A and B are shown apart, each in its own frame.
Chain A
Amino acid sequence: YVTSGPAAMLRALRRCRPGPALGAALSPAARPGPGPEPLPGPFPAWGPRLVPARGRKTRNDPPAKSKASRLKLPPPVDPEELLVVTERYRLHRLVLSALRAEFRAEVLQKKREAQLSREDSVELSEEHRRLMAWNDAENARQRARREERLRKEEEEEKRQKLHAAEQGARRLEAFLKEKEKEVLQLQEEAKTFITPENLDARIEECLDNPRNYNFAIDKDGRVVKRTVLS
């Protein structure tokens, strides 16, 4: 890294034009001539084609003819003044940045302390535990309610199934009874059936007992008139 002490700076400054204070002392006294010399001291060894002009021309255009003899020099600097001023600025900036860093650190420290004291406190964790316990109690209550409900639902289901089974059994029973009755009735009727054996006897019987179906009936079902069987 460059050593930037006052000696190195003086060496660099020697290449510049002398400042107004030293320039008047160094140059031959009582110089009423107007303007400085055309070549006062060392200058950068560029040719007449110096740095191209800005503005209207591009960087490839040559500068104007009137600028051929122009010699651009850095601004005049008083080395002592510069040294003094830079030293003062350095001290000033050093002090200011130190102050700023100090204040920043203080603010950060305060913030961190506040955060710690806020989060780490015993009562906060106590509160948290209490709330968690309450939450667990709520969950337990909910679990109890749920189990109760499930139990009820199971009972209900069992009852329904039983009921359905009973009804089914009853229906089956009724059906069987019906069929039984029919069978018995048929058996009874079978006694009066006409079989090939008693066919002749039944025919004789029918011919012997003529029945008269010629009768009138009123709305109540009572026989009103009867024709005489001839």
Chain B
Amino acid sequence: MPMKGRFPVRRTLQYLSQGDVIFKSAVKVMTVNYNTAGERSEGARKFVFFNIPQIQYKNPWVQIMLFRNMTPSPFVRFYLDNGEQVLVDVEDKTNKEITEHIRKILGKTKGTLEKEEKERKKLSHPATFGPKKYHLRECMCEIEGQVPCPSVVPLPKEMRGKYKAAFKKEA
């Protein structure tokens, strides 16, 4: 299958999951105004090209809109759910600086993320087994230290029903 686009690495899951900007739940819309030519919008262009897929992957419920060639100088605007609008001037900034700035003002901190992760882990018990959707393992035979699956390793004679029945019949 041929690779699509100029930088197909942007489409890989590994690249997308490396994005570390996760917005707070208050952020609903992100708007980027930039120009397709001119060296002052260079950072904004790179940001749109490289970093916005990562951001959208990590924040699927945030609407991101891009406006081209409507502004003399590039900027990013966030619309929060309480009606507040946050303006970020990104002229003469590299795309790394832009992501850092955004992460600082509207991204969840590492501490918050870890806390959320812990809460999520608390909901499910890792020792239970059942359907793959809700548990880590499906059968007792998958747990280390337990009797292996009889489809892979035959059970010893003493544990098998037919031998136990025969034994009982004998006795």
Flag if A132 contacts B91 (CB, 8 Å).
no
Interface check A146, CB cutoff 8 A: yes
Flag if A135 contacts B92 (CB, 8 Å).
no
Tell which of A119, A135, A143, A146 touches B105, judged by Cβ atoms closer than 8 Å. Answer: A135
Report B-chain residues with C-beta under 8 Å of the C-beta of A146: 73, 91-92
Identify the stretch in B53-61, B81-89, B144-152 within 8 Å (CB) of chain A at 4 or more residues. B81-89
Annotate B30-42 by CB proximity to A: 1 below 8 A, 0 otherwise.
Answer: 0000000000000
Q: Which of B14-30 contact A (CB under 8 A)?
A: 25
Tell which of A131, A139, A142, A145 touches B106, judged by Cβ atoms closer than 8 Å. Answer: A131
Annotate B64-99 by CB proximity to A: 1 below 8 A, 0 otherwise.
Answer: 000000000100000000000011110111000000
B140 to A: closest C-beta gap in Å: 28
Q: A139-B87, A146-B73 are in contact. Are A134 and B92 (CB under 8 A)?
A: no
Report B-chain residues with C-beta under 8 Å of the C-beta of A131: 104-106
Interface check A200, CB cutoff 8 A: no
Flag if B88 contacts A132 (CB, 8 Å).
no
Dominant SS at the B interface?
mixed
Report A-chain residues with C-beta under 8 Å of the C-beta of B135: none
Flag if A134 contacts B73 (CB, 8 Å).
no
Q: Which of A56-112 contact B (CB under 8 A)?
A: none
Residue of B nearest to A127 (CB): B109
Annotate A115-128 by CB proximity to B: 1 below 8 A, 0 otherwise.
Answer: 00001000000000
Interface check A138, CB cutoff 8 A: yes
Report A-chain residues with C-beta under 8 Å of the C-beta of B106: 131
Interface size class of B (residues with CB under 8 A): 10 to 19
Complex: how many Å from CA A145 to CA B90? 12
Interface check B164, CB cutoff 8 A: no
Complex: how many Å from CA A119 to CA B25? 9
Report A-chain residues with C-beta under 8 Å of the C-beta of B101: 135, 138
Complex: how many Å from CA A131 to CA B101? 10
Report A-chain residues with C-beta under 8 Å of the C-beta of B88: 135, 138-139
B82 to A: closest C-beta gap in Å: 10
Report B-chain residues with C-beta under 8 Å of the C-beta of A134: 104-105
Flag if B86 contacts A132 (CB, 8 Å).
yes
With most chain A CB atoms within 10 A of its CB, the pick from B86, B87, B89, B104 is: B89
Residue of B nearest to A140 (CB): B89
Report B-chain residues with C-beta under 8 Å of the C-beta of A139: 87-89
A75 to B: closest C-beta gap in Å: 34
Report B-chain residues with C-beta under 8 Å of the C-beta of A119: 25
Flag if A142 contacts B105 (CB, 8 Å).
no
Report B-chain residues with C-beta under 8 Å of the C-beta of A138: 88-89, 101
Complex: how many Å from CA A24 to CA B39? 101
Residues of chain B touching chain A, judged by Cβ–Cβ distance below 8 Å, are 25, 73, 86-89, 91-93, 101, 104-106
Residues of chain A touching chain B, judged by Cβ–Cβ distance below 8 Å, are 119, 131-132, 134-135, 138-139, 142-143, 145-146
